[in-house]
Amino acid sequence: MKRARDYGIIIGEMPTGARNLITDVCGVKVGHATLAQGRHNTGVTVLMLCEDNPFASKLTAACHVLNGFGKTAGLMQVEELGTIETPIALTNTLNVGLVHDAMVGYMIDRCRQEGIELRSVNPLVCECNDASLNDICLRAVQKEHVLSAIADAKPDFLLGAVGAGRGMTCHGLKGGIGSASRLIELDGKTYTLGVLALTNHGRLRDLTIQGQNTGKRIQQQMAESLPDKGSCIVVMATDLPLSDRQIRRVIRRAGVGLARLGSYTGHGSGEVFLGFTTANRIPHACTQALLPLTVLHEERIDLAFRAMAEATEEAVLDSMLTAETVVSSSGTVRRSLAELI
C-alpha cells in the first residue's frame, strides 16, 4: 500500500506520528467491513474512540457542516452538548438508518454487559453516496457488517477502497478512506492530532498536488468529466486538551486541506467535519457538580490549525493513492490515482 510519502510527496512541514494515521492518538482504533461482489461496492468503517466505554465517560467533541448536502445522524446532540458517547460509523447514504440501528444495539448490549444503565444514546453515523459504483438501493450493509467492523478495529488499518470507502469517487478518480497525523510540541510535551477522511468529492481538472494542477493533465487521458458533486467526511482525533469550542475551531480547518487539493465544495456535496479529544472526559454519572477542565491557551492554537490542514490534505490524497481501480457491475470505472500519477 503505497502512500503519498512513498511517491516523494510531502504535505506540509509538521512531523507525523509513528503510523501517520488517526490511530497515532492513543486508544483510537479503526475497523472495516467491505462488500465487493456482484452489484455491491460498499461497506462500513467504524472508529473506536477509546479503550473504555465512551457512553460511561464521554469525549469532548464538536462538529461543523461546511456544506450540508448530507444525511449524517447524531450531529444535533454533539452540537448542543459538546460530547460524543459512541463509536463513529461511516457508510453509504441509504444505509445510515440500518447502521444507526446496529450501533444502538451494540451500545445497549455493551452497557448491559458492563452494568451501565442506558435509556438514550446518540450514535454518530456519517455517509457519502457511492451509487456510481454500488447498487445503493440494495442497502447491503447490515448489523453483522457493523459488528464485524467493530471486531476488526485496530491501530494498523487499511486505507483506500475498503469499508465505507469501497464505492467512493474523489476528484473523478477512485476515492475512499485516507488518514494522516501530525505531532504538536507544547510545554515540553508531545501531542498528536490525527485525521480520517471518507472522500467522495471534487472535480478531476481541479486536482492540485503540491501546487501543480495534476488533474488537468490527467483529464486529457480520461473520457468523462464529472462535476464536483459528492461528499467528504473528515474525523479528527487528538489527545490535546481542548474545549468543544476549540475543537470546532480546529476542525473547520479541514476545509483548508480540501481546498489545497482543488475542491471548491460544490452544491451537491456534503462536507461534514467531526472532532474529539481523548482528554477532558465527561462522566455520564453525576457524582460531583463541578468538573476540572484543562484547555489550550488560545494564543497557541495555530499549531492545531496547521496540523488539521496538513493532515486533512494528506489524508485525502492517500485515500486516492491507496485505492485500487474499481469497476461496477454496470461497467462504470473509477481509476486509481496511483495508475495515473
Residues 31-72 pLDDT 10s: 999 999 999 999 999 999 999 999 999 999 999 999 999 999
What local confidence, expressed as pLDDT, does residue 341 receive?
85
Query: What pLDDT is recorded for position 225?
Result: 66
Mean pLDDT of the chain: 96
What does the pLDDT look like over 269-325, one tens digit per residue? 999 999 999 999 999 998 899 999 999 999 999 999 999 999 999 999 999 999 999
On whether the CB atoms of residues 244 and 62 are closer than 8 A, the answer is yes
11 — pLDDT class (breaks 50, 70, 90): very high
pLDDT in tens, 71-87: 999 999 999 999 999 99
Helices 96-113, 143-152: crossing angle, 10 deg rounding? 60
Which residues carry out catalysis?
231, 269, 271
* Cell numbers at 123, concatenated: 450514535
Angle at 317 between CA 84 and CA 13, to 5 degrees: 85
Q: What is the dihedral of CA 241, 187, 11, 233, to 10 degrees?
A: 0
pLDDT at 223: 61
Contact in structure between 106 and 146 (CB atoms under 8 Å): yes
β pairing state of 124-128 and 177-186: unpaired
- What is the three-class DSSP state of 189? strand
CB hemisphere CA count around 60 (13 angstroms) = 22
How far is residue 145's CA from residue 102's CA, in Å, rounded to a whole number? 9
Residue 174 has pLDDT above 90, yes or no: yes
At 220-269, the pLDDT tens digits run 877 666 676 789 999 999 999 999 999 999 999 999 999 999 999 999 89
CA distance 107 to 113: 10
Listed in sequence order, the DSSP H helices in the chain are 75-81, 96-113, 143-152, 214-219, 244-251, 254-260, 302-321, 337-340
Closest among 63, 122, 72, 68 to 93, alpha carbons compared: 72
CA gap 184, 240 in Å, rounded = 9
Q: What's the confidence (pLDDT) of residue 221?
A: 79
Q: Which helix H or strand E contains 37, and what residues bound it?
A: strand 29-37
Q: For the chain, what percent of residues have pLDDT higher than 70?
A: 98
Tell me the pLDDT tens digit for each residue of 103-158.
999 999 999 999 999 999 999 999 999 999 999 999 999 999 999 999 999 999 99
| Cell triple for 325 | 481501480
202-215 pLDDT, tens digit each: 999 999 999 999 99
Query: Please, which residues have CB within 8 angstroms of residue 323's CB and are 6 or more apart in sequence?
Result: 159, 160, 161, 165, 174, 175, 176, 336, 337, 338
Contact 271/66 with Cβ under 8 angstroms?
Answer: yes
Q: Where are the alpha helices (DSSP H) in 183-286?
A: 214-219, 244-251, 254-260
